[in-house]
Structures are given as structure tokens and as C-alpha cells.
Chains A and B, each alone.
Chain A
Amino acid sequence: MAANSWPEQTKLINTRIPRLDGIAKASGKAKYPSDERPDGMLFGVVLYSLHPHARIKSLDTTVAEKMAGVKAIEVIAGPGKIVRYHGDDIAIVAAETEEQARDAVRAIKVEYEILPHAATELQAMAANAPEVVKGGNVRKGRAQITGKPDDAFAKADGMIEAAYSVPVVTHVCLETHGLTARWDDKNHITAWASTQAVTATANELAESNEIPVSNVTVLTEVMGGGFGSKFGADIWGTSAARLSKKVNGRPVKIFLDRIQEHLAGGNRPSASAKIKLAGTKDGKITAMVAQTHGTGGVARGAQFPLPYVYSIANFSREHSDVFVNGGNARAMRAPGHPEGCIIMESAIDDLAAKLGLDPVEIRKANLAPADFRTKIYLDEIAIGAELIGWKQNFKPRGTQKGIMRRGLGLALHQWGGGGANDKQVSCTISSDSTIELKSATQDIGTGIRTVLAIIAAEVFGLKPTDIKSNIGNSTFPPGQSSGGSTTTPSMSPPCYNACLEARDELFKKIAPSLPGSPSATDLSLADGQLLIKGQPAMSFKDACRKIGMNSISTLGKSSPGLASNGVGGVQFVDVTVDTETGVVKLNKIVAVQDSGLIIDKLTWESQVLGGVIGGLNYGMFEERIVDPTSGRMLNPDMELYQLAGASDIPEIIVHAYEPADQKKRGVIGIGEPPTIGTAAAIGNAVSNAIGVRVTHWPMTPMNVLNALAQEGKA
């Protein structure tokens, strides 16, 4: 019978357990998809457009085809096709070596008709701008109107009008996008893919090659990050399969290089907002009007939630997606939320400054009364304020003097993080005491392999290292694609049920052969032992020998009560700003986060740390810089695309908010939430320090000095 709650007393669940594959990953033994070298493998290299907007007039591959080592060429954008951004794919060469493929790519002759481009939002939104997509470059969203904002503004005690903006940032997965595809025979494909969705990748390879999905095996033993950008086979994966078919099934590896990763691997859209926010002198926000826009390149996706977190009775909002000749957006860790958080949290902070209110208090005054998160937020704010030393260290904005100024800021965020309830995990107990779990999910980095092993070890009274936790294979029972913080809440319930059922089957099967012929209900497992009526009787290994020749195998499904949906979270940041150079130094970040029942506190904490570090990169460093004249991205590499180094990362205090009522909610995902609020909190801390709002992210010296100069304080 499926469970509807987690055990009250646990030995492993909710403790700190190292990752099962941690040593393999840290030592370099783990084999990532891009490390795979199946026999006979060819290297695929992509020819991409250097132009932001052009029509292919002609494409000649005859020279390239005859070059040493070249085995096949796949044309993606042939004559007559339009390329729409710097980095758009044109053709792929498969050759014996990567160098030969690169040489051949250079030998492909392409004649372009250069078309006028609009590579920046300003260009795209200008009158008479070149059309990026049919129907115009500005796509209006559905307007939001609630209450009577105009009336509320008229009655308000104070208001602010402000503009905030945050740029496009690109995906920077350590392992770039790609896969290696091999036709095993005329009807079967095996692919080693860096993907956060083995089943989706198998589906797309199958459909694009018109073979049954059961004929495709996608393998992802481990993978080097996806952050939302690695769903499906991608054009590079389907091309690898087509090229493999052309060369009689030899495996073809196509992984993007670092430049292509920045250009075409996806990005988080920009966000710009003009905001009016009004409130009463006691800090109740009464009205908000917002005009927002952003760009996801040649795709939509620039919408974001606003108002965010706070309850505002009267508001109106108009949003537009702007199309530019730039690489298209893909989901990036908490799609839309970091942008919405920056806009909302900046505005509420500026209103607090205008009304002379404490930023902590104005937030508490505007939480939605009917939202279950409100109590969570209030508790988390109190914990975070204590950990950052708000009471002792906070000084109102504009009260500091001197060159070096210290500031504090905070931001609240929220996310769903619930699980899908149609996933499955199989559990097999063999007579040699092997316990093997299988599911077609994959570890995007959250540690699901370890989480499943912990659950099984808890049920069987073993150590997590005793469990074979097999994931990353699309032919296993249907598992969750890793997106939206859904993997752990989707996979934990079916794993638990599979293990419980297998354990009960074991008891039923061996009970008659045990001394005294106990009933199955007299049996239990703990510390590697089989217990009869609470007394150790034999080792688990010996007990399993009684299974006989046929193993016990179960297939667990989800059941209500084991997972839930919806989290809050608050982050506080302490910074020091050099007002002469504009350099911001992060002193400390506090992340207080709820997520129901935490299965593994160690991997959970690792997720929060990773989220905060991703968030501080967004807040401090990252920006896709595009040259308006050439329409090219100027910083598509790891030198000029700025990310934090070790010395840029401050002390990060992670606090798990998990009172008993939280644990009873069951498992909720943690991937997204801790990255949402960091950049907003950094911006607020900087503004608190220097006394003026830095309206444009990231908090670079240039943007800080610009803000000071505009206020005449530089």
C-alpha cells in the first residue's frame, strides 16, 4: 500500500549525506557525456553566422567535402534561408578529428545577402526598425489591471517613479550543449547526451528520425549543468544523428565550443521597467503602475511576474516582448522570477527610502494576508535579519559619509517546486542482497541519484552506498525531466513507495522460512540486520539469500502526501562600496530558505549555495554585450563574459527553515528558489550604502559610478 506520509523518525532522511558520485566527480573519474568516445567516433563542428541578419545566397561545400578526414556535411540553412543572429547555425561538418572538421568548416563558401539588423532593444524599438519577425519587433502582452490605481495614487502619502533594467545574461554551463549519436543498426539510435531530460531527448531523436521512441536510448550518467537550457535534442543533436546515418552509423559527436555556447546556447531575457509605486506613511503599498519590456532575442520569453511576492490592491501593468537579432532565450533557473524580483524589490526599497521606513518593516507590511507563505516569510525575515545583524548594522539610505560605505539589503522570493505525480521508480532486490533502483530521470546537479539511495537505504536499514541508484537512461521507467525544481519532489514519492513495497514483498517471501515462522508483520530492518519482533535475527545479506533464484521487483508510483508545492525565501546581503572606484565588495550573504521536508541536507545546502553564487553573478558581473553596429556579441568567452572568481564570493550563510509543520508538507524542489533574490538584494544593499539607486544591473563599477554621477554624488 502506497504511503501518504514520510516516517516521523528517520536515520538518514533529513541528515547530511555526501553524494554517491561526489568523489568520482571531484577526482575526474566521472565520465560526462562530452567525455564519451565510442569506437569510430567522428567530430562534428558547426559553421555559424557571423552576421546578425542575412539571407544565404549560396552555399558551396564542394571543397570542404574533399578535405582530409571529412566524412559528411549537414546543411542546416541552405540557399534562400535567413540567419537571424550572430551564432545562428548554417552547416555542420563531421570529420575524423576536430581539427579536420574545423578546417573544413572554414572551407565552406557562403555568400550572404546582408540584411539590416536590430541587435539591441533600442534598435528594435526604433521607428522604422528592420523587422526581426513578421508582425513587428514589439509584441504586446495581455494587460493586467486590478483595482483603481489612479484613485489610489491620488490618496497616497508618498510615491516613487523609477526605471530599472537588467541585461540579457547567457547560459554558461560548464559542459556545453551537445550529444554524441550513433545508429546501432538501421532502426536504433544510442545517444550520450548532456541533457536535463533523457526522455525528451529520446522523443525528439525518435520523432526527427521517424523511428519508434523505444528504439532510442539516451544516456546521461552525469552531466555538467543545464539550468533550464538543455531540454530536448536540439538542432545539434538531431544533426549528429543525421550525420551518423550518413556515415553508416559511426558515432558523431557535436558539442558546442565556448563561443557558440554563449551565442546559441540560450540566455535569460533582459527586463526593463518604468514603475510608479505609492503607499501610506505606515508603509502599506496602495498602488502600482508598471510598463515593462524585455527581449528573448528571436523568441518570446521575456515576460516576468509583477507585482512580485507582495499584495497590491490597485495596479496596472503593460508588458511587451521585444524581438532582436540575438540568440534566443531559453529557460534559465527560475524563468522570469529573478527579473521580477529585481524590479519589485528595487521599487519597494525605494518607496521605503522615500517614506523614511525600514526596508524590513515595509516588506512585512505588504505580505498577502491570505497567502500561506506569509507566516513563513515573517519567520524567515526574522531569522535572516538576526543572521545579517540588521538591527546593529542597518543605517538608513543616504546617511553614510566617507569613501568606503557599507550597506545592507534584502529581497524576498517565491517559487512552486511541486512534483509531477506520474513518474515511476523500480526497485529490485536480488538474492545476493543487491538493491537496484531505476528511473529515467537524470542528475542535473541536485543530487537525485543520492536522494533516491537515501530513501531506499532508510527503508532497508542500509547505507546509501549499499544501493545501486541507476538513473540517466531513457529506457528505464518514466522519470522526471529536471526542470522547474521538480525532480526531487517528483521522484522521491515513487522511490519511497517502490522500496516499501519491495521490502514488504521480501518480508512476505522469507517469513515462512525464518525460525519460529513469524508473520511478515513481525519483521523489520535496521542497521543491516533483519529483526524479528525487534530482535536482530540475521544479516540483511543472509535474509536476501532466502529469496531464491527470482529477484523481487516492484514499480513505485507517486501518492498524495509525500510532496508539496510552493516556497518562499529571503536573502540578506552586506556590501561595502568604494564610492571613488565604484567597486562593490560582497561581505556576507544570508539565505533563509524553506522547501518542506529536506531529504539530504548536504545536497540541499549545496543547491542553495550554488543558487546564491549564480544569483551574485547575475547581480555583480554578467551581461551579454552586443555591438550595435556589427550586431555581434562582443564577449562570448570566459575571459570577457564576467563571472565571480573565488575571491569574489563572500561568506554565505545558508539557513534551512524547517519547523515541524514544514517537514509535514513533504518534499518540495529547491533548484530554483535560492537564485532568485540574490541580485535584487545586492542592488538594494548597494543603494543603501551609497545613498542612490543604481538602476541598471549588474553592480559593476561603471553602473555604480554612473548612478553616483547622475545624482551629483560622484
Chain B
Amino acid sequence: MDLLGNLWIGLETALTPYNLLYCLVGVFFGTAVGVLPGLGPVATIAMLLPITFGLPPESALIMLAGIYYGAQYGGSTTAILVNLPGESSSVVTALDGYQMARQGNAGRALATAAIGSFIAGTLATIVIIFFAPPLASIALKFGPAEYFSLMVLGLIGSIVLARGSLLHALAMILLGLFLGLVGTDITSGSERYTFDLPKLADGIDFVIVAMGIFGVGEIIANLENESKRELITKRVTGLMPTREDWRRIRWPILRGTLLGSILGILPGGGAMLASFGAYSLEKKVSPNSAEFGKGAIEGVAAPEAANNAGAQTSFIPMLTLGIPSNPVMALMIGAMIIQGIQPGPSVMTDQPSLFWGLIVSMWVGNLMLLALNLPLIGLWVRMISIPYHFLFPMIVAFCSIGVFSLSNSTFDVYLMAIFGLLGYVFRKIDAEPAPLLLAFVLGPMMEEFLRRTLLLSRGDTTVFFTRPISAIMLGVAVILLIIVLLPSIRKKREEAFEEEAG
């Protein structure tokens, strides 16, 4: 009954006209930030933070939270329409979402993303209401050894992402790991592969690589055969998912939500793994797995559900323990401190209207996002039927502005152009770039956690197997590797037998 009382407090707070307005402002800004490539929620929230000083704490946090999960919604729009992942979590959405758009199904893809996000957001809100305190303790059980093992699992899972040649996938992973090495090594402070360029000292920004390889690479490829592309976008079918679509996306959304909810809680890169993980999982279990990479609707629904669920549950450690699971949550903690609230377990008891108001507002915000985004779909879809010779200079301009805004550096814009060329080459040699991006993100983190584990264990490697969570994850990774390799091993053996027989 206590729960009902708390929910009532939350509803009372979130549904005041004043807070509804700030929620709307937040999700609106968030959507805009998500749609614009480059400009991310972290920078936006930091810039808006001084404005929130004068607001009551509930309204301030409701608005800032709205920006964050609103950006997760918006990020998928450009990924689907023009193969331009605005946020790291929308890279996998681009894989099948863009293919759907090319087949004239942009409307259905966008609607699926919005609906999947909404369902995930609703379920994740329920998860927070019921399980926030017990789940928060999971975040603290994850030490560097557990993270390392999780990354290993993620990296092996990424091989599944690739379609086509296994050799290509491995090469892309290695290239991604190599690019990830560029910059200052956290553990030792040494610079690696920076060629004494201070601009490379912090490594290459993910957004630059993703926008270059996906967005710009795609543009170059399209310009090669422009006439063909225009024919494709002329026939746009329905804007809403069909009954058949609904049947197909039901379970992927639920599985994506579950995976996203769990990974979102983990500090440090959990949410990023969520969308990759959900995609890989669907590709393995889906009866339509052959369609993945060619416009499978499950490949849009699952990662979108996962990243939105992860965005919601990443509030759990922040709200219940006062520990940030990502840079946005660190900013939210800053916002709370400015308002005179000390984040931690006491927030729930001392500030019930803030705690429950924020949680209820997340669901309200999700509803607003759905209402905001569904009518826009028609507009977006019409946007891609603009003749390509008008559309592509606009995309390039937005990309350049976005990349420039990362750190006010023209160097980054040139870097994006180079990755654009690279992306074009990958397309020509038929190499899927998604594993490269995952390795680019996971590689440096894996190294960081490996070395931190060894630093703290004083060089003892057995900790990976003696800590139970870590051991289980490494075990799953081995099983996954066997599943991936088995078909090709069997084939080799059969070939060998045939040769013997012959």
C-alpha cells in the first residue's frame, strides 16, 4: 500500500501544469538534440544547467531527465532516414532501419522505433518503481573483473552482428580495437598513436567515427548511383506497423527491454552494450534471422527498446545510491547538489516528491514523446523524398556542424571526412562496419578494466575465474564462441572427410 501512496505523491508532482510544461520542454529539446547529429545530451544538459538554478528541484530534474531520454528517441530518426546515427546507441538501429527506409518502409521503421521505445520506457518505469533499491546493489557488485568479462562477452557477441564473411568481421574488429587505442592510456598516462598531435591525445570521438563511416560513407556511395536511389524512395508504403509487424516485434521489444533494463544499471558503458546486445540476441533467436541487415523490423524494434529501457534504468544507481552510471547522470547529480539535495539513499525518504515525481514524469515524458513523434513521421518520410542533390549537401552540413560542435575543432571535421572515405571503401569490399564500432568502444574499456583488475589484484589473473559473476560471463562467452565457430568447423571437417574419401 505504501507503493500506492508513493505513486500518488509522484502523480501529484509530475502532473502539475508547471511540471508537465517542463517535461514537455525537456523531451522536445531532447528530441531535437537527438535528431541533430553530433550535439549530444551531455553538452545540452551542461548548457541548460544554469537555467535550472531558479526552478524548483522537481521541475529542474524532470526537464533535464526529459532531455536525456528524449535524445534516445530522436537519435534513431536520422539513423533510420539517412543512415546517420546521432547517438552511439542508435548505430545498430541504422543497420536495419536504414535498409527499411531504402525499401520505402521508413514510416514503419520510425513508428516501430517510437512504439518500441514507448513500451520499453513504460516497462522500465515499472521496473524502477518496484525494484530500484535491490537492483542498485548490482551496480556495486560489478568490479573491474566483472566489467572485463562483460566486455569479452560483448565483443564475441559482436561477431554475430556481421553478415557475410567471418574473416571480414574479425578484420573489422581488429581495426576497431586499433583505432580505439589512439589517445592517452588511462592507466599509465602514456600517449599512444597520437603522432604528438594534442588533438588526438584524448582519442578519436565515437561520433566522428560513426558519422564518417556510416553517414558520409553512405552519401559517397549514393552519389555514385544517384538515379537508382531516387527510384527507391519514390514508393513509400504505410506509415504504421501492420498486424504482421506487430506479431514480429512483440517479443523482440520485450527481450530488448529486459536486456536494456539490466545493462542500463551498470555504470560505465552498460547502456551502449544494451542496443548491440539486443540486436545480436534477436539475430540469433529470430525465425527471420536471414533478413537481418536487409531490413528486418525486429532489428529496429529490439535495440530501440533496449536503449530506451537502459536510459531509464540508468537512473537507478543515481537516485538510490548517488553514484553516476554515465556522464549524464553525473550532471544530474551536479544539478541535485546545486539544488541543495545530497544524492544517495536518503533522497527516497527525504525527498519523496522529487524521487517519485521524477519517476512518474519519465512515463509521462515517454507518452509525450510518442505523441510528439508519431505525427512527425509523415513529415520525416517526406523529407527523404527531397531530391538527393538537395538533400545530401544539407546532411553533410549538419554532420560538419555537429562534429565541429564536439570540441570546436576543424580537425575533427577533416577526420570525419577521412572516415567517410573509409566507410565507402568498406561498402565496396562488402565489409560490415558495425563490429568495428563496437570494438572501437569496447576495446579501450576492456583494456582499462583488465589492467585495473591486475593493478588491484597485484598481477593475479585467477580473479577472473574466482569471482562468480565474472566466471559465469566468461563461461557464456566460451559457449557463444563455440556456437559461432561450430558451423565452419563442421564444414571444414566434412571437407576433410570428403577429401579422404576421394
- A and B: interacting chains: no
